[in-house]
Structure formats: C-alpha cells, structure tokens
Amino acid sequence: MCGNEPGLYDHLRSFCEQDYPRYQIIFGVGDPKDPALAIASQLKAEYPDLRIDLVVDPQQHGHNRKISSLINMLRHAEHDLLVMADSDAFVQPDYLAHVTTPLLDPQVGLVTCLYHSEPTKLVWSRLGAMYVNEWYMPSVLMAWLFGHQNYASGQALSA
C-alpha cells in the first residue's frame, strides 16, 4: 500500500469479507507515516477474528518499491498458498475461492484474473482506467487467444 488512495477502505475491506475457510491478510507499507497504515489498522480492529498482519518495513530490494514491499511481507506469510493483489482492487466475497480453485490441478502453478478499472473523477484516474480497459486488458486477451498462455499478469496473482 502507498497512501490513502480513493476508496482504499472499501477496497481493503472487500478482502476481509471473503467466504473462505481460513486465510491471512498481510498489509504492507514502507513508511511508518503512510496514511494507508491507519486504514489497515482500523480494519484489523474491525475484524478481530481474521488474521491480519501489518508489515512496516522500509527496506528496499532493488528499485521496484512494490516488489520490495512484497518481499518484506513474504516472511510473515503463514500459508503455502499465496494470493497477491493491489490495494486499489475491489473483490467479491467469492474471490479467494475462484482464484485458488484452479491450483488444485497439479498442472496449474499460477493463476491470474481479468479485471477492469473504474475511474474516479480525477483526470489521472480516468487516463489510467482508459489504459487498463481499452489497451492493456484487450492486449492480454489477444495474447491468450493467439496461444500465449504461459504467463500471468494483472492486479491479482495466486500461486
């Protein structure tokens, strides 16, 4: 997570509302003053029966801050099955069941899902949504249709 982006509480909360037997949520930030941390802490208090861990670790592993955050959070994971998602994703209660079920097949090692972007009124949000909805996702679908299916890309990955 990085900053209090529009809809952050609702996005993160949707992961707390999963119809899934037992799971852990790990929220990570690199800066202890990041306002996203307060929202994650609020959710941890609202869901005391759900395992929610907050990782604050400024250590950088290379140049990509998102990958650094994932590396910093990984050592806190208690399960063998990992699902990674961006903080601007909103998911339905059956999300975890849908993205983990294909992993029951031993031929499947990584799962991703298509998504669409819903912009806010800000111009940068609208441009970002146009990129995802009108260029990126159609390109992913075209690659898949032409037989390039050995990769995973998107806001959510499970392995």
* Residue 149: pLDDT over 80: no
Q: What is the mean pLDDT of residues 51-68?
A: 94
Q: What is the mean pLDDT of residues 117-145?
A: 84
Which residue ranges make up each domain of the chain? 8-158
Which is it for strands 51-56 and 156-158: parallel, antiparallel or unpaired? unpaired
Q: In the chain, where does DSSP find H-type helix? A: 8-16, 36-46, 65-74, 95-100, 123-131, 137-145
- Is the domain 8-158 a CATH 1.10.3470 member? no
Question: Which pLDDT value is given to residue 40?
Answer: 97
* Residue 37: pLDDT over 80: yes
Q: What is the pLDDT of residues 130-139, one digit of tens each?
A: 888 788 878 8
Question: Which pLDDT value is given to residue 109?
Answer: 84
CA nearest neighbour of 89 among 157, 142, 37, 12:
12
Q: In 75-110, where does DSSP find H-type helix? A: 95-100
Q: What is the mean pLDDT of residues 49-54?
A: 97
Dist CA 87 CA 15 (whole Å): 10
CA atoms within 13 A on the CB side of 90: 11
Tell me which amino acid residue 118 is: E
Question: Which pLDDT value is given to residue 155?
Answer: 65
- The model scores a pTM over 0.85: no
